[in-house]
A and B are shown apart, each in its own frame.
Chain A
């Protein structure tokens, strides 16, 4: 009997799970964080916290995930930070190409459609990002577009995505959407001071209860005069 035969295992192939105790390497991570946007009649408020985490570890206290594109559109992200950063680069490049080709900035609605197409272009290896795109539409009204990672999109009045979405969205449903409240006009839009206050309150609450949300809050307000950015402090724990 030769050596090789002597050492033949009973089963020619062990179950895959035993041979790969570490499993397949996953090309995705969840870096936490929360983003929201609220549309008004002539403005839009976008807010994102700036904490980046990986499991129980805080990578960075200030790693912004909301970005201003050159055409005064704000892209707020959450999910996998590396994909989010690349997605923003792709969008920014394309919107600049559009600007030089057509000698005018890309409209918010066109950017919204382009984002959907960009995401769907990676349908079988998605960008693991939950984007919220916000700007003013051609009539000057606030426009918020929300997406899933493969490009399904929807125009909404307000939306929260990310690790604290389950805390923030119900709050917005009540405070912005006036959902299930008697004698309330659910179609009315907030004025911008109210919207800003609600956005800040939403994040104070989210930072209290969600460990992946906190440190700093980036706020963008887009209106007819352009984009205004502010940075506020959140719970620093």
Chain B
């Protein structure tokens, strides 16, 4: 009896017309993914949030994942996109810190160095047409100056006082442009938390790949702090009045 060929979901075959010639390509689709990262500057540093969901397509597959990590002493990295590629990046960064470590020299891997390192990996992989399917938000406070940068799988980089990835770029960024832009140096932590929770609430209402269990993180001169998971208060009473969308 002939063997049965199984097609693994989320794996693409090379198009027939380039199987025998052309450049080597390694395109795959993301499989287990995390949605938006929202981050912005405030008076004491940077605040960031991600939810705890890792989706498998439209399935809410893993509901207790962390998409923010602390790298070095004063750098916070948030990720959206493929969680497998994120694990690879975490591994690479751990290697970097291990290799660069010299006992008692008192040196710390700076935020800008980590940002440049991640950016170079992302641009390098896109140039091999074998991208890491992620967007990264890198935040840190170095000698009194806060840093907030973004990298995606094109190797596109930019710095901005407010950053939101994925759906957040459409839903959270307009809120941040209104309440944060121009006031970065005045916003207190309480105000920042309120704005951030509002953004995450809007995302929870309208992003179908989001989850009401999230973590908040901040990076200040004192270092990185990542919260325990918490839920947001939501109000669905108006849902009854929504007309359309097949409701």
Interface residues of A (CB under 8 A from B): 2-5, 13, 16, 19-20, 22, 24-25, 27-29, 31, 52, 54, 57, 59-63, 80-82, 85-86, 125
Contact = CB atoms under 8 A, between A and B. Distances in A.
Interface string B14-43: 011100000001010100000000000000
A5 B155 CA distance: 45
Contacts of B155: 82, 86
A23 B29 CA distance: 11
B2 A59 contact: no
Contacts of A13: 16
Nearest to A57: B169
B17 A16 contact: yes
Given A2-B2, A16-B17, A20-B15, A25 B159 contact: no
Q: Which 3 A-B pairs have the closest CB atoms?
A: A82-B155, A60-B158, A16-B15
Interface residues on B, range: 20 to 34
A77 B126 CA distance: 20
Interface string B151-172: 0001111111000000001100
Contact of B154 (A5, A29, A57, A125): A29
B95 interface: no
Given A16-B15, A59-B150, A82 B156 contact: yes
B97 interface: no
Contacts of A22: 29
Contacts of B160: 59-63
A62 B158 CA distance: 8
6 contacts: A3-B1, A16-B15, A27-B154, A29-B156, A59-B150, A63-B160
